[in-house]
Chain A
Amino acid sequence: MTGRGAARRVTLLALLAVLAAWPWLAPYFAIFLMTEILILGLFAASFNLLFGYTGLLSFGHAAYFGTGAYVAALLLRDMAPPFLAVLAAAAVGAAVVALVIGWFSVRLTEVYFAMLTLAFGMMVYALVHQWRGLTGGSDGVAGFPLTAPLPGVAVNIADPVNYYYLTLILVAVSAYVLHRITVSPFGLILRSLRENSERASFAGVPVRRYRLAAFVVSGLFSGLAGALFAPFNRIAVPEMAHWTQSAEPVLMTILGGSQYFFGPFLGAGVFLLLRQWITSYTQEWMFFLGVILAFLVVFLPRGLLGLFDRWLGGRS
């Protein structure tokens, strides 16, 4: 127990050290790659609070990611407040959207829940795509400035290294908060819902209320990820709210292992590295991704971390 815990802590510290030194260790393009891994890792980890911990598979998480992206881009374009205020507003905006969609969705479970979240996700995409006056339609929102993080903190986050560090700090803090949630009493209730929501309700748990709470928290951090993603790309486009964007956290989480807190982060890393590598040879990267995923689901249902766990002689 303690041996495992200590090993985990050392691994985590080593990982943080590598991430902190990344701009010195890695070639220039890899700074962009790692920024993207961190952002999409946070997106996948937020998704997994709902999937791996609460037992609800959402196919519509791009709705919150996209909301975060657009709120951030529009605020920067029209008002240019301090960047951290932009992120906070975008996360809250996404949480509000999640509250509305979740309020309907948590009435259902399993495939019906998944279908409903997919349907709502499509509606949000359609809205973003069609509301040209606000969102610029398929052109998206671009040409916004990147403001200082806080008033008086004159850091130029348009510099990729600075943006990387800002992302690293925010993702690390968010991951820490998410992790605390999973091991809290609230998190225990969420895990009980994943295991057996009927038994939970007969233990006194108001099931829907907790599902909705998980949904909103998940939407909040997804929105934060989206709000980091749009400025990173210097544009918010409807694709960020598209259902193919919803598929990414699902795939990343399954790749890394949904039963592990860091599974989604690892999955995001492997996913983006594979994409980088395969697209340098062929345009048909989706085909190879499909092959890899099919292989994983059949042979490694617990994801890559499940495989490591088995190598280390962990649980069966």
Chain B
Amino acid sequence: MRPPPLLDVRDLRRNFGSFAAVDGVTLSVQPGEVTALIGANGAGKTTFYNLISGRLRPTGGSIFYRGRDITGTPPHSITRMGIARSFQITNIFDQLRVIENVQVALVIRQGKGTRWWRRAARDEDLRLQAGELLERLGLSGLAMARAGTLSHGDKRLVELAIVLATDPQLVLLDEPTAGMTPEETHAVVDLIARLAETGPQTFFLTEHDMDVVFGLARRVFVMHRGRLLAEGSPDEIRANPEVRNAYLGEEVY
């Protein structure tokens, strides 16, 4: 018997005008299982993540997280329940130092947001926990740099650090390797694999780089024009003729 799902999405829909960007998707994510959502550009992957993370309200359907209906919950509450996300286009605090980027999430998680007198820089817990996280992501040397001055690859790591700092159980990564050099991609894939193996988090990522997906995921969902086309293990997906037709055939791979 499988354990109860971490995330359970039922018949989720989202229209933009008369256009259905997400058109009745039902899927679930099991705890501890690296899961991927693939599909060509415009398939609806990002919209799907926007629905789960509370950035957009669904037109229909429902989202259950650990058995609880979270449909329509605002992003900050969803984050605090344990779902954190990264964005396809890097989304960090440019003018803050790298360590401060992480500490924003830590302050909230440690319930210190109302502390208005003590200096943040003198808070040992904040400093140590942020330091540890940066260490794990190989960003220690950049802790005091302004995040906006970093390379594209390092900025994506900063965003991953913010995501992990919220202490999530479910991590949604929207094309985590988008715009990275092959070396950076390789490093990030290794990192995610390592985190998935050691950490308490369950990773759910979208990609359109097939090598990334098939190297990382145990379970793959394929989206096509707002609908779920197939699901299975990477091998099953690779062998699925419908998927090959609808998606893999269109890609240079």
Contacts and interface: CB of A to CB of B under 8 A. Distances in A.
Interface of A: 180-181, 183-189, 191-192, 194-196, 198-207, 210
Given A185-B112, A202-B79, A203-B104, 6 more contacts: A180-B116, A185-B113, A185-B118, A189-B107, A198-B91, A207-B76
Contact of A204 (B55, B80, B117): B80
B102 to A, nearest CB: 9
B114 A201 contact: no
B93 interface: yes
18 contacts: A180-B117, A180-B119, A184-B118, A184-B119, A185-B126, A186-B113, A187-B120, A191-B93, A192-B100, A195-B93, A195-B95, A196-B93, A198-B91, A199-B93, A200-B93, A202-B85, A203-B104, A203-B108
A171 B118 CA distance: 20
Nearest to A188: B120
B51 interface: no
A208 to B, nearest CB: 9
A180 B94 CA distance: 22
Query: Of residues A185, A191, A195, which shows the largest number of chain B Cβ atoms within 10 Å of its Cβ?
Result: A185
Given A189-B107, A196-B92, A203 B162 contact: yes
Nearest to A180: B117
B123 A185 contact: yes
B80 to A, nearest CB: 5
B94 A201 contact: no
Interface of B: 53, 55, 74-77, 79-80, 84-85, 91-96, 100, 103-105, 107-109, 112-121, 123, 126, 162, 165-166
Contacts of B93: 191-192, 195-196, 199-200
A190 to B, nearest CB: 10
Query: Of residues B94, B100, B107, B114, which shows the largest number of chain A Cβ atoms within 10 Å of its Cβ?
Result: B107
Contacts of B91: 196, 198-199, 202
B132 to A, nearest CB: 17
B104 A192 contact: yes
A199 B91 CA distance: 6
A184 B76 contact: no
Contact of A183 (B94, B121, B162): B121
Contacts of B119: 180, 183-184
Contacts of B114: 186
Contacts of A186: 113-116
Closest 8 CB pairs of A and B: A195-B93, A204-B108, A203-B105, A186-B116, A204-B79, A192-B104, A185-B107, A185-B112
B104 A189 contact: yes
A198 B118 CA distance: 26
Contacts of A185: 103, 107, 112-113, 115-116, 118, 120, 123, 126
Query: Of residues A188, A200, A207, which shows the largest number of chain B Cβ atoms within 10 Å of its Cβ?
Result: A188
A203 B165 contact: yes
A106 to B, nearest CB: 14
Contacts of B162: 199, 203
B183 to A, nearest CB: 26
Contacts of A196: 91-94
Given A184-B119, A185-B120, A204-B108, A210 B94 contact: no
Contacts of A192: 93, 96, 100, 104
A187 B116 contact: yes
A201 B55 CA distance: 10
A210 B114 CA distance: 9
A203 B165 CA distance: 8
Given A196-B93, A202-B75, A188 B100 contact: yes
A137 to B, nearest CB: 39
B157 to A, nearest CB: 15
B7 to A, nearest CB: 17
B112 A195 contact: no
Contacts of B84: 202-203
A192 B103 CA distance: 10
A203 B120 contact: no
A258 to B, nearest CB: 12
A180 B115 CA distance: 10
A46 B165 CA distance: 31
A194 B115 CA distance: 18
A196 B162 CA distance: 13
A195 B94 contact: yes
B113 A210 contact: yes
A179 to B, nearest CB: 10
B104 A188 contact: yes
B113 A189 contact: yes
Nearest to B113: A189
A114 to B, nearest CB: 21
A188 B76 contact: no
A56 to B, nearest CB: 16
Given A183-B120, A188-B100, A204 B115 contact: no
B184 to A, nearest CB: 21
Contacts of B77: 206
A184 B115 contact: yes
A187 B122 CA distance: 14
